[in-house]
């Protein structure tokens, strides 16, 4: 008969630092089935449903970062109280003080957990000290939920948003698990109005959600993970051991890998939210189709780029204080945006390159008096896309490598030891990788109508067909990812 192994069950359901729970893990998909059943039973009980989702979200974050989930609670409670007080304060300096308190708490936590060792390493030589990294755990998603909560307090300070009067609703907003650990960064003004609306998932929403989950799982669990482990990591770990052509395709492979990784997770977040009756804005819009670096940032990680624009670039003065100041603000915004991605100089260099490129493009447009809406067409657009894509790939070299020297070695191999004669050997040795890369880039550069047609096809399926498709998909992924589900139920004769 069937027996339950309680020790294995406890092991699976508790935090494991080596196997944090993510959307593409079999354990999450297994738990999500049970979560969905309870969620639907609470369809007409708003407060109970919101409380249930909030508790599940905190459990999800516990499975991702252990007992550091209390940081999520600290940020939530303090920003809720500060924003509420701010709304009832008329004196400007007092409102500013409350905003600075929110900034201090959020950015203080972010700086401590993410940047202490970075700044310690920079400052250690000043007192002739030897740098020994401190043992500081980086909670998953802290960059996302601090930015998301900050958008709420800043909007309340700007009087663009009326604060919530229920702590439970705000806790639900900050902790909502589909976007908690990897975005998209959802604005309070977009999400909060949906919280207390009657739960309704139309056939179109369900079908679109299933499509986005399928798309995200394919990008993340198939393309990104496979080409990363079997090709990209090998090239970037030892670029000097490979020819220039191998390094170049390693860079192109990484460009696809990081896109499929980030956008795949965002797609799954958007799809899961739709299944639960919530709408998230699009976060990636075929970024490698961009015909300029500005267009790229209109398409890449849209929730982050717009956050940086609205809360950092505009706060620095934007384009309101002269052309020279505009170029400086662009560079500063991208430098800080690079640092947001990680506590390392390679991210700062990456952000600096993008900032200089944005400033240079803006300078060139001003020089030629080109309107912002001007776009390339025909053969000019083709070369504009080609140049933009290769510039972005050039920047990815510095983003991916952990040292500047490794990036220089990779570029040296590409420009001085290209050896195109090994190309066919490369294809033969890594043909599976190149097939997946070909599929990935084909789907990325395909007309938008292709994706729309596929989405409509899933939407038009009957409800039972959509549900069956989703169940089959979850089953297949659980089988693929079965290593993260240790069997806690066994059969005994």
Backbone angles phi, psi at 4, to 5 degrees: -100, 125
Structure tokens at 22: 């993510």
User: DSSP code of 240?
Assistant: G
Sign for the pseudo-dihedral over CA of 434, 18, 28, 3: positive
Residues 6 or more apart whose Cβ sits within 8 Å of residue 285 = 298, 299, 302
Q: Is the peptide bond before 416 cis (omega within 30 degrees of 0)?
A: no
* 181, 61 Cβ separation under 8 angstroms: yes
Catalytic one of 88, 301, 341, 369: 341
Phi-psi region of 492 (alpha: psi -120 to 50; beta: other; left: phi over 0): beta
Q: Which of 151-184 are b and which e, b meaning 16 or more Cβ less than 10 Å from the residue's Cβ?
A: bbbbbbbeeebebbeeeebbbbbbbbbbbbbbbb
Element (H, E) at 4: strand 2-4
How far does the chain reach from its first CA to its final CA, in angstroms?
Answer: 6
Let me know: does 290 contact 388? Beta carbons within 8 Å: yes
- 297 secondary structure, DSSP code: H
Coil vs helix vs strand at 177: helix
Beta bridge partner(s), residue 447: none
Residue 489 dihedral angles phi and psi, to the nearest 5°: -120, 125
Q: What helix, strand, coil percent values describe the chain, rounded to 5?
A: 75, 0, 25
Q: Say whether 88 is catalytic.
A: no
242: helix, coil or strand?
Answer: coil
Tokens of residue 383, six digits: 């070369």
Question: What tokens were used for 319?
Answer: 């384009």
Q: Which of 327, 272, 292 is nearest to 56 (CA)?
A: 272
- Could you tell me the sign of the dihedral formed by the alpha carbons of 197, 198, 203, 208, in that order? positive
**Whole-number Å distance between alpha carbons of 146 and 143:** 6
Using DSSP, state whether 490 is helix, strand or coil: strand
- Residues acting as catalytic residues: 341
């Amino acid at each position: 008969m069937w027996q339950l192994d309680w020790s294995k069950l406890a092991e699976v359901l508790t935090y494991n630092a080596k196997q944090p729970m993510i959307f593409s893990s079999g354990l999450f998909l297994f738990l999500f089935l049970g979560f969905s059943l309870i969620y639907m039973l609470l369809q007409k009980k708003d407060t109970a449903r919101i409380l249930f989702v909030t508790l599940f979200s905190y459990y999800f974050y516990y499975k991702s970062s252990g007992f550091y989930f209390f940081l999520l609670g600290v940020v939530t409670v303090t920003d809720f109280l500060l924003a509420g007080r701010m709304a009832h304060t008329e004196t400007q300096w007092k409102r500013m003080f409350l905003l600075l308190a929110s900034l201090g708490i959020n950015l203080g936590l972010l700086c401590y957990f993410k940047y202490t060792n970075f700044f310690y390493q920079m400052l250690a030589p000043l007192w002739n000290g030897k740098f020994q990294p401190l043992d500081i755990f980086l909670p998953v998603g802290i960059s996302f939920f601090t930015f998301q909560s900050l958008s709420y307090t800043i909007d309340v300070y700007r009087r663009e948003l009326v604060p919530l009067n229920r702590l439970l609703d705000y806790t639900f907003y900050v902790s909502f698990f589909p976007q908690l650990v990897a975005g998209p960064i959802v604005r309070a003004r977009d999400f909060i109005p949906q919280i207390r609306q009657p739960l309704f998932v139309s056939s179109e929403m369900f079908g679109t959600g299933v499509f986005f989950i399928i798309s995200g799982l394919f990008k993340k669990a198939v393309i990104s993970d496979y080409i990363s482990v079997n090709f990209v990591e090998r090239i970037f770990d030892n670029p000097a051991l490979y020819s220039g052509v191998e390094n170049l395709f390693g860079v192109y492979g990484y460009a696809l890998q990081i896109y499929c990784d980030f956008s795949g997770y965002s797609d799954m977040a958007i799809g899961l939210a739709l299944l639960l009756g919530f709408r998230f804005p699009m976060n990636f819009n075929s970024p490698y189709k961009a015909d300029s670096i500005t267009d790229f940032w209109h398409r890449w990680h849209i929730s982050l780029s717009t956050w940086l624009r609205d809360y950092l670039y505009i706060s620095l003065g934007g384009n309101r204080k002269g052309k020279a100041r505009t170029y400086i603000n662009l560079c500063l915004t991208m430098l800080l945006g690079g640092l947001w991605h990680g506590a390392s100089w390679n991210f700062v260099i990456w952000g600096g390159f993008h900032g200089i490129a944005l400033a240079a493009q803006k300078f060139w447009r001003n020089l030629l008096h080109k309107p912002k809406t001007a776009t390339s067409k025909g053969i000019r657009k083709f070369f504009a896309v080609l140049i933009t894509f290769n510039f972005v790939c050039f920047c990815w070299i510095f983003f991916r490598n952990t040292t500047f020297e490794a990036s220089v070695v990779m570029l040296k191999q590409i420009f001085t030891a290209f050896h195109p004669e090994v190309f066919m050997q490369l294809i033969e040795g890594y043909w599976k990788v190149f097939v997946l890369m070909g599929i990935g880039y084909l789907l990325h550069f395909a007309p938008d109508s292709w994706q729309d047609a596929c989405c409509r096809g899933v939407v038009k399926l009957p409800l039972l067909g959509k549900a069956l498709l989703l169940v089959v998909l979850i089953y297949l992924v659980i089988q693929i990812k079965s290593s993260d589900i240790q069997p806690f139920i066994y059969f005994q004769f």
